[in-house]
């Protein structure tokens, strides 16, 4: 009955292709029923097939169990009542292991063994190479007989130990999808110029038919809330419409984005669409990078940058329209911008709040019942599948799912959501080595990572159309949830996590944690699969998790972050009564008090809570107040030159060193060279920067020392800007290289709230709000363990760690921050 089965698969595929047609004719309900029927049919076929073998010696115990499991599932689905939730599951055949008490970890051991540990395997087993080669040969051999689609996926079972099978899915409803499928870029008439094609693409966006209506509404109202599906053209089109309608004659159109990478990428796109050079008519402005000119009329920027601009230009006189885009993200800066009520001072300034399909009422209410302009998007139905049981390792599950989609699903690009850069790099590496192993026997799979730190040339790669016959897999952070739309995505893999800032006002500790996403996020993520046609979303969590463990909405940033920099900004805008500031969702009072307390300790506020001269200087720097204070304090210690180098290096973050897998020892040795004399991490960073400068910013030198050139260049840019800001606050650039203590004292001046004392057991206790912490393992002081230290930041991984640590003398605390530390009698 193989033949019959193949026939069934062919039928199923045919149905797949006519989905769109049938969608138009049949109601969604019917469509679902049909799909379910079809899936059941397939399952029945399989069972019939295997029943024949069942009990015969041909099946191993494992296969027999698998079969039983399948049958159980089948029975369960058949017996389902219509009341059963319509959220379904997709099933890993090995899932039944769990019921039988098999360790979760073990279930993935095969995958881990295959994907991860090639290196260590090689060490332990000299024949590993040979085995790997053999593995691949087996893979190839089975593939040779593999027909397309389903057939191929069956054969892949030899290759992927944990094949994932899904039965049926609930569906994210389509919206307004009677339209024809969107033309795919590059497939239209080739005689047209690229520019003409771009113009055509613009007209195909869902927002286009509402252009005139929208402009009318903007003309009629000062404040307008605009709501539309992600990818419908809000960010790229509205500023252009405003430009075309003449709004840029008397001022700029500013459009804020929660993330720098979104601001940069969207500005690039719009410059392209308008046929102008980026930085001229269309530009962007993000922290430490200003790509605008006198000519710029459409300016994309981070919301944080607009907040900074407000400090210098409180009435935003140079703007005719401000668009607060992605308002649903509710970032700290966006919330503060709302509270500042930018439209209040100038009746002719238009304020547009634009958001994906969430929270519109809330925005409208907040802005005194501002009208809501909602236009329908174009969203195709998306099949959603869940796991039947939680996975031990979501990264492994994501990799398996991607490979599985690649070999068994029709062409169409894949989007995988991962929490951060590190996870993306890991998955990228594993996927690459997997694919290399398959050689030419599978279709080309192009891997495109996208995260904030990625250089813009590489970022641009995700938007390039996928070559014919190939498939693209985009590994993205949350940025692809609503900020960036990548065309051609048909499959979404959603592990259900994101990295999120959390803040404990009691001890002042802020950490980035990998946390489950909210239901609203999950819905947005699924929606990415249905942009240009029906799609599928694979959720790597259970329907139960979704229902019971996930919050409805993400908590706004203002309620889970350190408010010190915002309070400083508000104070310098002369907003003194923070408790009565018009917050959309007020932050916890504790967090506000904590921020005031810190700013007082830093000398930015006086006892009455008023901004001091020091505070005014600090507010000029687009940095965390502790870093700003460190810089301002360096004036007194005559070492501003050194301190801005350190501040720049700290701002680049943790991506300065790189450790190639095969040269980790070399890399670590190179790094320790900068630590000789147990100088502490801050001084080591300074040494790195100065040495690089001495070689005249040599790239070769970076290679030799396992240092990332890109990060160093960024540090240099940041440093240049800090130097200009020093001038603005009239602090001379002075160097005091012979006296490292003065450099350390400046650091303590900024980070006095981050001091810790060694305990008997080798751990540390923070001085102010007692907490047990440890020196980060890669620190130059992790073996030295000085009695007192000051640290830059706090990280929580397996333990509470201090990262970037420097030794201090305890009497400095009393000398430098007397109102914060007093000597015990």
Task: Give which of 176, 147, 181, 150 is closest to 163, Cα–Cα.
Answer: 150
**From ligand ADP, Mg ion, none, interface partner of 162 (C-beta below 5 to 8 A by class):** none
Q: Maximum distance among all alpha carbons in the chain?
A: 91
Is residue 265 at the binding interface for ligand ADP, with CB under 6 A as the rule?
A: yes
- Which residues, numbered 470-529, are part of the site for ligand ADP (CB under 6 A)? 485, 487
471 near 491, Cβ under 8 Å?
A: no
Closer to ligand ADP by CB, 475 or 567: give it. Answer: 475
- Cα separation, 778 vs 664, whole angstroms: 12
Contact criterion met (CB below 8 Å) for 127 and 133: no
Tokens of residue 339, six digits: 């509270």
Q: Which does 463 bind (CB under 5 to 8 A by kind): ligand ADP, Mg ion, none?
A: ligand ADP
Contact segment (CB under 6 A) with ligand ADP among 233-241, 246-254, 309-317, 656-664 equals 233-241
Tell me which residues in 31-50 interact with ligand ADP (CB under 6 A): none
Using the 8-state DSSP alphabet, how is residue 587 labeled?
A: P
Q: Which is nearer to ligand ADP, 241 or 463 (CB)?
A: 463
736 binds, among ligand ADP, Mg ion, none (CB under 5 to 8 A by kind): none
Stretch binding ligand ADP (CB under 6 A), from 210-218, 230-238, 274-282, 754-762? 230-238
**Least distance between ligand ADP and beta carbon 454 (Å):** 13
Residues that bind Mg ion (CB under 5 A): 234-235
Which of 545-551's residues contact partners 24+ apart within 8 Å by CB, and which partners?
A: 545/390, 545/496, 545/516, 546/87, 546/386, 546/519, 546/522, 547/87, 549/516, 550/496, 550/516, 550/517, 550/518, 550/519, 550/522, 551/518, 551/519
Binds ligand ADP (CB under 6 A): choice among 93, 231, 495, 530:
231
Options 132-140, 223-231, 552-560, 595-603: segment touching ligand ADP (CB under 6 A): 223-231
CB of 268 to ligand ADP, least distance (A): 6
Residue environment code for 747-762, b if the CB has 16+ CB neighbours within 10 A, otherwise e: bbbbbbbbbbeeeeee
**Rounded distance, CA 631 to CA 639, Å?**
9
Smaller CB separation from ligand ADP, 237 or 466:
237
The residues pairing with 510 across neighbouring beta strands, listed in sequence order, are 503
Return the exposure string of 214-228: e unless at least 16 CB atoms fall within 10 Å of the residue's CB, then b: bbebbeeebbbbbbb
Give whichever of 554 and 766 is closer to Mg ion, judged by the CB atom. 554
Long-range contacts of 790-798, Cβ-Cβ distance < 8 Å, separation of 24 or more: 790/747, 790/748, 790/751, 790/752, 790/754, 790/755, 790/756, 791/751, 791/754, 791/755, 791/756, 792/650, 792/681, 792/682, 792/751, 792/754, 794/509, 794/510, 794/511, 794/754, 795/511, 795/512, 796/511, 796/513
Angle between helices 564-572 and 589-601 (to 10 degrees): 70
The alpha carbon dihedral of 599, 603, 606, 610 has a sign of: negative
In whole angstroms, the minimum distance from the beta carbon of 457 to ligand ADP comes to: 13
Q: Considering the complex, state which of residue 272 and residue 616 has its C-beta at the smaller distance from ligand ADP.
A: 272
Give the H or E element holding residue 526. Answer: helix 519-527
CB 352 to ligand ADP: min, Å: 12
Q: Is 228 in the site for ligand ADP (CB under 6 A)?
A: yes
**Binding ligand ADP by CB under 6 A: which of 94, 153, 162, 232?**
232
Closest approach, Cβ 341 to Mg ion, in A, equals: 23
Stretch that binds ligand ADP, among 218-226, 229-237, 290-298, 401-409 (CB under 6 A): 229-237
Only one of the segments 265-273, 437-445, 573-581, 714-722 lies at the binding site for ligand ADP (rule: CB under 6 A); that segment is 265-273
Q: Which ranges of 227-372 would DSSP assign to H, the alpha helix?
A: 234-244, 260-274, 303-312, 332-340, 360-366
**Residues 516/497, Cβ–Cβ less than 8 Å:** yes
Least gap, CB of 228 to Mg ion (angstroms): 9
Give φ, ψ of 290 to 5 degrees: -115, 110
- Tokens representing residue 161 in the block: 């130990």
Residue 153 near ligand ADP by CB under 6 A: no
Least distance to ligand ADP, CB of residue 221, Å: 20
Mark 451-480 with x for binding to ligand ADP (rule: CB under 6 A) and - for no binding: ------------x-----------------
- Taking the alpha carbons of 199, 205, 207, 209 in that order, is the dihedral positive or negative? positive
Which is it for the CA torsion 622, 623, 624, 626, positive or negative? negative
State the number of CA atoms in the 13 A half-sphere of 332 facing the CB. Answer: 20
Shorter beta-carbon distance to Mg ion: residue 452 or 638? 452
Which of 283, 508 has the CB closer to ligand ADP?
A: 283
Give the interface segment with ligand ADP, choosing from 218-226, 232-240, 397-405, 804-812 (CB under 6 A): 232-240
Mark residues 640-659: x for contact with ligand ADP by CB under 6 A, - for none.
--------------------
Instruction: Find the residue with minimal CB distance to Mg ion.
Output: 235
269 binds, options Mg ion, ligand ADP, none, Cβ within 5 to 8 A by partner type = ligand ADP
Residue 464: C-alpha distances to residues 87, 236, 406, 413, 474 (Å): 34, 17, 19, 12, 11
The one of Mg ion, ligand ADP, none whose footprint includes residue 355, by CB under 5 to 8 A per kind, is: none
CB atoms within 10 A of CB 491: 25
Q: Choose the contact partner of 232 out of ligand ADP, Mg ion, none; CB within 5 to 8 A by kind.
A: ligand ADP
Q: Given the complex with Mg ion, which of 235 and 421 has the nearer CB atom?
A: 235
**Cβ 661 to ligand ADP shortest distance, Å:** 32
Taking the complex as a whole, the smallest distance from the CB of residue 408 to ligand ADP amounts, in Å, to 27
Judged by CB under 6 A, which of 233, 508, 556, 780 binds ligand ADP? 233
Cβ distance to Mg ion smaller for residue 160 or 451: 451
Candidate segments 45-53, 227-235, 447-455, 585-593, binder of ligand ADP by CB under 6 A? 227-235
Q: Is the dihedral of CA 568, 573, 579, 581 positive or negative?
A: negative
Q: Token pair for residue 522?
A: 């999950």
| CA pair distance 791, 486, nearest whole angstrom | 40
DSSP state of 462: G
Does 236 help bind ligand ADP (rule: CB under 6 A)? yes
* Least distance from ligand ADP to the Cβ atom of residue 747, Å: 40
Binding site for ligand ADP (CB under 6 A): 205, 228, 230-237, 265-266, 268-269, 463, 485, 487
């Amino acid at each position: 009955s193989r033949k019959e089965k193949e026939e069934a698969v062919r039928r199923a595929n045919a149905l797949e292709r006519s989905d769109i047609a049938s969608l138009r004719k049949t109601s969604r309900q019917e469509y679902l029923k049909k799909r379910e029927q079809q899936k059941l049919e397939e399952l029945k076929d399989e069972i019939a097939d295997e029943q024949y073998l069942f009990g015969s010696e041909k099946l191993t115990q494992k296969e027999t169990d698998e079969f039983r499991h399948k049958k159980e599932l089948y029975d369960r689905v058949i017996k389902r009542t219509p009341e059963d939730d319509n959220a379904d599951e997709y099933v890993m055949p090995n899932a039944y292991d769990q019921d039988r008490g098999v360790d979760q970890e073990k279930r993935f051991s095969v995958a881990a063994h295959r994907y991860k540990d090639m290196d260590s395997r090689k060490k332990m087993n000299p024949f590993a190479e040979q085995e790997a080669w053999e593995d691949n040969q087996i893979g190839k051999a089975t593939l040779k007989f593999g027909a397309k689609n389903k057939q191929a996926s069956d054969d892949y079972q030899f290759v992927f130990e944990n094949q994932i099978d899904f039965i049926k899915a609930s569906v994210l409803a389509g919206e307004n999808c009677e339209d024809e499928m969107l033309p795919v870029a590059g497939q239209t008439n080739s005689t047209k110029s690229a520019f003409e094609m771009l113009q055509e693409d613009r007209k195909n966006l869902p927002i286009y038919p509402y252009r005139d209506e929208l402009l009318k509404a903007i003309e009629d109202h000062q404040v307008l809330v605009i709501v539309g599906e992600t990818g419908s053209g809000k960010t790229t089109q509205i500023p252009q419409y405003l430009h075309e309608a003449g709004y840029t004659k008397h001022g700029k159109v500013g459009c804020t984005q929660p993330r720098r990478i979104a601001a940069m990428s969207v500005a690039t796109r719009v410059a392209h669409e308008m046929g102008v050079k980026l930085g001229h008519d269309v530009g962007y402005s993000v922290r430490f990078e200003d790509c605008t000119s006198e000519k710029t009329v459409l300016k994309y920027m981070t919301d944080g940058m607009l907040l900074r601009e407000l400090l210098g230009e409180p009435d935003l006189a140079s703007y005719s329209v401000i668009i607060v885009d992605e308002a649903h993200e509710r970032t700290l800066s966006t919330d503060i911008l709302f509270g500042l009520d930018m439209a209040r001072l100038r009746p002719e300034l238009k304020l547009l709040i634009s958001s994906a399909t969430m929270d519109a009422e809330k925005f409208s209410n907040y802005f005194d019942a501002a009208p809501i302009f909602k236009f329908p998007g174009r969203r195709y139905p998306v099949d959603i599948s869940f796991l039947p049981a939680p996975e031990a390792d979501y990264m492994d599950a994501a990799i398996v799912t991607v490979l599985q989609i690649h070999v068994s699903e029709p062409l169409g690009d894949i989007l995988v959501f991962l929490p951060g850069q590190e996870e993306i790099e890991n998955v990228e590496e594993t996927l690459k080595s997997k694919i290399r192993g398959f050689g030419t026997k599978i279709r080309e799979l192009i891997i495109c990572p996208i995260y904030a730190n990625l250089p813009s040339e590489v970022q641009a790669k995700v938007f390039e159309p996928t070559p014919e016959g190939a498939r693209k897999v985009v590994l993205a952070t949350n940025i692809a949830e609503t900020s960036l739309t990548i065309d051609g995505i048909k499959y979404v893999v959603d592990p259900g996590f994101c990295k999120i800032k959390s803040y404990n006002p009691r001890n002042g500790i802020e950490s980035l944690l990998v946390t489950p996403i909210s239901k609203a996020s999950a819905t947005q993520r699924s929606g990415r699969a249905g942009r240009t046609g029906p799609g599928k979303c694979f959720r790597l969590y259970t329907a139960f998790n979704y229902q019971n463990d996930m919050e409805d909405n993400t908590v706004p940033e203002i309620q889970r972050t350190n408010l010190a920099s915002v309070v400083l900004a508000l104070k310098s805008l002369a907003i003194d009564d923070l408790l009565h500031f018009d917050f959309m969702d007020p932050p916890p009072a504790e967090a506000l008090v904590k921020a005031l307390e810190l700013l007082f300790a830093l000398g930015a506020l006086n006892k009455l809570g008023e901004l001091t001269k020091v505070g005014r200087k600090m507010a000029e720097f687009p940095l965390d107040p502790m870093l700003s204070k460190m810089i301002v304090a360096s004036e007194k210690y005559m070492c501003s030159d050194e301190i801005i180098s350190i501040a720049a290096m700290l701002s680049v973050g943790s991506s300065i060193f790189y450790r190639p897998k095969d040269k980790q020892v070399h890399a670590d040795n190179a790094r320790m060279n900068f630590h000789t004399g147990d100088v502490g991490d801050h001084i080591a960073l300074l040494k790195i920067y100065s040495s690089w400068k001495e070689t005249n910013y040599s790239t070769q030198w970076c290679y030799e020392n396992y240092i990332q050139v890109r990060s160093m260049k960024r540090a240099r840019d940041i440093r240049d800007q800090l130097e200009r800001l020093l001038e603005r606050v009239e602090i001379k650039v002075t160097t005091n290289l012979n006296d490292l203590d003065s450099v350390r004292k400046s650091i303590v001046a900024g980070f006095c709230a981050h001091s810790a004392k060694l305990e008997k057991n080798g751990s540390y206790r923070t001085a102010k709000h007692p907490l047990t912490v440890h020196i980060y393992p890669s620190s130059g002081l992790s073996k030295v363990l000085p009695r007192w230290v000051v640290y830059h930041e706090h990280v929580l991984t397996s333990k509470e760690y201090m990262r970037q640590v420097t030794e201090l003398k305890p009497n400095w605390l009393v000398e430098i921050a007397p109102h914060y530390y007093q000597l015990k009698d």
